[in-house]
């Protein structure tokens, strides 16, 4: 059994199409199909159920896919470790970034890393802190930027605090509170909010702050996109509590300090178990670029 055959199986399983899988693997479709059929004969099982319009993994294929991915990951790691022993950094760097990440200029950091280590393939994923924590723990992600309430630090990961901040109220320029410079949570009683989905780390700081203050609030809209959140605020449908760094300068919006508002910590997180050479190089680069006194490590004000 060859690694290339495993790569073909993974490609077909993910693309659910032999033509697209062949294009992805930069081979003609007949060669890819031949290799998969040869592998099926060697294993004595059928990996894919095929029709002229549909391709699906069989039960045997599902079982094989998981082991094939693990084998390919292990092979890639072996190549990366061998290259690292000679001073070269290879392999894949997978990074997760939450929508409200502000403490690190991710495009700039990745640009600098790519120039220093051009042989590393970079994969950037968006999503939420919970799924990133799980992905790092399971080994499918190298590094992530997380945003969590100050009362619930991540567990089972290596972490570095990037920023501590207090969220601000964001209202439309037409809102009744638009002329205020400073508020307390009590001033927001009766307001209608937009926030991240219930149960997500992005929502937790605000929920915890209102619960601690004994104030009930109405969240009428939920969204994972800060652009959508700000759009709803701009049209004066709702107000939001966000990191001040994600709010653009706009004549249509007003940002108001909330003295007892929610607090949030942004973390850089990575695995406690044997980070890859690419992950170590990326983390070393960030450490060299930023010091403990950098302005992105802003205290709560």
Does 173 lie in the same domain as 105? no
Tell me the CA distances in angstroms from 203 to 111, 167, 226, 241, 300, one per residue in order. Answer: 31, 11, 12, 9, 18
> Same domain for 20 and 72?
yes
CATH of the domain at 220: 3.40.190.10
In the listed set 53, 84, 115, which residue is the last one of a domain according to the structure?
84
Are the CB atoms for 267 and 75 separated by under 8 Å?
A: no
- Indicate whether 225 and 178 sit together in one domain: yes
Residue 31 φ/ψ, nearest 5 degrees: -70, -40
Predicted pLDDT at 100: 85
Show pLDDT as tens, one digit a residue, over the chain (301 residues): 577 888 888 889 888 899 998 998 889 999 999 999 999 999 999 999 888 788 889 989 888 888 888 777 776 766 666 655 556 677 889 999 998 888 888 999 999 999 988 988 899 998 889 999 999 998 889 999 999 988 888 888 999 999 999 999 999 999 999 999 999 999 999 999 999 999 898 999 999 999 999 999 999 999 989 999 999 999 999 999 999 989 999 999 999 999 999 999 999 999 988 788 889 889 988 876 554 444 333 333 3
Residues 218 and 181 in one domain: yes
Same domain, 40 and 112: no
* Same-domain pairing of 146 and 283: yes
Smallest CA-to-CA distance from 238 within 276, 195, 205 is with: 195
Q: pTM above the 0.75 mark?
A: no
Q: Is residue 297 part of a domain?
A: no
Q: What is the pLDDT of residue 80?
A: 60
Shared domain check, 124 and 195? no
pLDDT given for residue 99 in this prediction: 86
274 shares a domain with 135: yes
Domain assignment present for 300 = no
| Position 244 in a domain | yes
How many Cβ atoms sit within 10 Å of the Cβ of residue 49?
12
Q: Could you tell me if 40 and 181 lie in one domain?
A: no
Q: Which domain holds residue 43?
A: 3-84
Say which residue the tokens 């007949």 belong to. Answer: 30
On whether both 103 and 231 belong to a single domain, the answer is no
Q: Say if 294 falls within a structural domain.
A: no
Residues 80 and 121 in one domain: no
Task: Count Cα neighbours of 285 within 13 Å in the Cβ-side half-sphere.
Answer: 21
Does some domain include residue 157?
yes
In a domain, 295, yes or no: no
Position 174 in a domain: yes
- Whether 175 maps to a domain, the answer reads yes
Using the 8-state DSSP alphabet, how is residue 98 labeled? Answer: -
> Are residue 155 and residue 212 in the same domain, yes or no?
no
Among residues 38, 53, 84, the one where a domain terminates is 84
Domains identified in the chain, total number: 3
Pairing of strands 92-97, 143-149: parallel
Q: What is the CATH number of the domain that holds 7?
A: 1.10.10.10
Sheet of 92-97, strand order: 121-126, 92-97, 143-149, 263-270, 158-166
Cβ pair 188, 162 in contact under 8 A = no
């Amino acid at each position: 059994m060859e690694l290339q055959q495993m790569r073909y199986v993974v490609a077909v399983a993910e693309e659910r199409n032999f033509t697209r899988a062949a294009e992805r693997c930069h081979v003609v479709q007949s060669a890819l199909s031949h290799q998969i059929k040869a592998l099926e004969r060697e294993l004595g099982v059928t990996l894919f159920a095929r029709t002229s319009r549909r391709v699906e993994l069989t039960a045997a294929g599902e079982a094989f896919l998981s082991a094939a991915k693990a084998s390919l990951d292990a092979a890639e790691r072996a190549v990366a470790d061998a290259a690292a022993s000679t001073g070269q950094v290879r392999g894949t760097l997978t990074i997760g970034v939450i929508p409200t990440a502000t403490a690190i200029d991710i495009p700039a950091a990745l640009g600098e890393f790519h120039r220093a280590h051009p042989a590393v393939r970079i994969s950037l994923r968006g999503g939420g802190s919970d799924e990133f924590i799980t992905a790092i723990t399971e080994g499918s992600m190298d590094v992530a930027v997380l945003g969590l309430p100050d009362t619930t630090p991540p567990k089972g990961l290596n972490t570095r605090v990037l920023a501590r901040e207090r969220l601000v109220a964001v209202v439309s320029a037409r809102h009744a509170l638009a002329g205020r410079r400073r508020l307390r949570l009590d001033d927001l009683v009766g307001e209608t909010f937009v926030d991240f989905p219930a149960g997500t780390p992005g929502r937790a700081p605000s929920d915890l702050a209102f619960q601690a203050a004994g104030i009930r609030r109405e969240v009428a809209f939920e969204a994972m996109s800060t652009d959508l959140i700000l759009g709803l605020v701009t049209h004066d449908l709702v107000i939001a509590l966000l990191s001040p760094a994600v709010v653009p300068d706009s004549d249509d919006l007003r940002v108001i300090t909330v003295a007892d508002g929610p607090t949030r910590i942004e973390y850089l997180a990575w695995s406690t178990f044997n980070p890859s050479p690419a992950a170590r190089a990326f983390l070393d680069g960030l450490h060299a670029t930023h010091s403990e006194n950098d302005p992105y490590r802003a205290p709560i004000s």
